[in-house]
Amino acid sequence: MHSEAAISVRNLSKRYPQAKSNAVDGVSFEVERGGIFGLLGPNGAGKTTTIGVLTTAVVPTGGEASIMGHDVVHDQIRVKQRIAVVPQRPNLDRSLLVREILTFHAAYHGVPRREREEHADQLLKELGLYERRNEKADRYSGGMSQRLMIARALMHKPDVLFLDEPTNNLDPQSRLFLWERIRALNEQGLTILLTTHDMDEADLLCQRIAIMDMGRILVNDTPAELKKLIPGGNSLELRVMTDQTDALTARLNALPGVTKVEVVPDTNPEAERGVTSFRVYAAEAGSLVGDAAHAILESGARVRDISVRQATLEEVFIYLTGKHLR
């Protein structure tokens, strides 16, 4: 079973010296080969420590973890051979030229000279860095550094790629480019574990997501399943022209299957006068559209807009942890 998974984590704990509590506290999860797995959580949740253990930079104080069947504590050389890490902050070798950063990285991993020269040129072209291959990396922009770190990570053809907050601090264009690359790499068979506190990113990229808080994994499921976690997670958004907010709230509450009705404060300063927004939570919000419209008309109000809204991961997160991500 263990050798089947690309990443396997069992009951993992880490307590740093002099810390009062565990940074990672009994975490277990598996990432199958070829999967994209997201670790989601606020700062201090234990994501970086978990990645640290899996990339041999942190020694666990309890439990065990393995990469492609190799124990991360007892077989570090094999683990290092199989993994690649793209860290949060650029850590490019500034004494070398861009192309050398790639070729030396491959040399550290024992890739033969010809292979590493060819692979470096190929990756530099793919990532749009070939023209500037003979510069030093400190002239590179944030987005270019990120791309170069990804190229470096791929130089030794790893099986598992760790991306620590990959699109943090990137401009929207670089972010889209990166998302595309991550998907393409995954399609080529690379297993990817990424940490993020960007919910859209996790939703878009990950096949499975584990939400972490205070060193524990709260849930671990597909994005679609996670969104069903909020009771009455789907909701109906109503924008209504009315002056009898309370009466309408009561009418909506009385509809079958409704669990909760909220009046949503309108943050748009240009919002139409007299229009109130309601959010109606129900298990099957979509089937309520007709009833809701009917209730509004009966109350003498006029409908401006009705839409069915799915829960976002952000809401799931807030629901589970009681806190915002940032």
Binding-site ranges for another protein (CB under 8 A): 16, 52, 55-59, 76-78, 80-81, 83-85, 87, 89, 91-96, 100, 104-105, 107-111, 152, 157-159, 189-190
Cβ atoms of 270 and 264 closer than 8 Å: no
Nearer CB in complex with another protein: 72/280: 72
| Least separation in angstroms between CB 214 and another protein | 19
| Least separation in angstroms between CB 79 and another protein | 9
Task: Residue 147: name the closest of 128, 161, 131 by CA.
Answer: 128
Nearer CB in complex with another protein: 114/273: 114
Nearer CB in complex with another protein: 81/244: 81
| Least separation in angstroms between CB 222 and another protein | 26
* Cα–Cα distance, 44 to 270 (Å, whole number): 39
Tokens 């504590």 correspond to: 73
| Least separation in angstroms between CB 203 and another protein | 28
| Least separation in angstroms between CB 71 and another protein | 13
DSSP 65-108: EEETTEETTT-HHHHHHHEEEE-SS----TTSBHHHHHHHHHHH
Task: Residue 158: name the closest of 181, 123, 185, 184 by CA.
Answer: 185
Amino acid letter for position 96: L
Amino acid letter for position 202: A
| Least separation in angstroms between CB 103 and another protein | 10
Nearer CB in complex with another protein: 111/129: 111
* Cα–Cα distance, 268 to 254 (Å, whole number): 29
By three-state DSSP, how is residue 3 classified? coil
Nearer CB in complex with another protein: 156/251: 156
Nearer CB in complex with another protein: 189/290: 189
Task: Residue 218: name the closest of 2, 31, 26, 23 by CA.
Answer: 26
